[in-house]
Amino acid sequence: MNMSNYLANALLNHVFRKTALASPANVYVALYTTNPTAADTGQEVSGGGYTRLPIVFGAPAVDGGKPTIKNSADLAFAIASASWGTVSHIGLRDAATAGNLLYFGALDSPRSILANDIFKFLQGSVAASMS
């Protein structure tokens, strides 16, 4: 996954300029039908019963030579009550609605979500790393 401009600036300011950086109360997974981009310009899924889900991560561990965190439990979105379109990207955000994009990335296999479908991430399948 890629770090957003918001988080990169916040971390640089926090570490090198002594600017306070508050941790979000929760981190949420958002689904996108287009690339969110580092500037947070993508098209998030809306309607059809979609809401962001809170995500919990395990402790960082080295994976592929990089410190990495992964989701510690399965995540299942609500049953779609209407088509969500083709979900191609995800984002990690600091609020259940609006808020700031933290990390984003493309799915290995985009998936068309139709009415009555359930979109799910298995434990350990959402990962964010630092290089």
Residue-wise pLDDT for 36-85, tens only, equals 999 999 999 999 999 999 999 999 999 999 999 999 999 999 999 999 99
The answer, yes or no, to whether residue 131 has pLDDT greater than 90, is no
* pTM to 2 decimal places: 0.95
Structure tokens at 41: 């310009």
- Using the CB atoms, write b or e for 73-105: b if 16+ within 10 Å: eebebeebeeebbebbbbbbbbeeeebbbbbbb
% pLDDT > 70, the chain:
100
At 25, is the pLDDT very low, low, confident or very high (cuts 50, 70, 90)? very high
Distances (CA, A) of 71 to 57, 68, 90: 4, 10, 13
Q: Where are the chain's structural domains?
A: 2-129
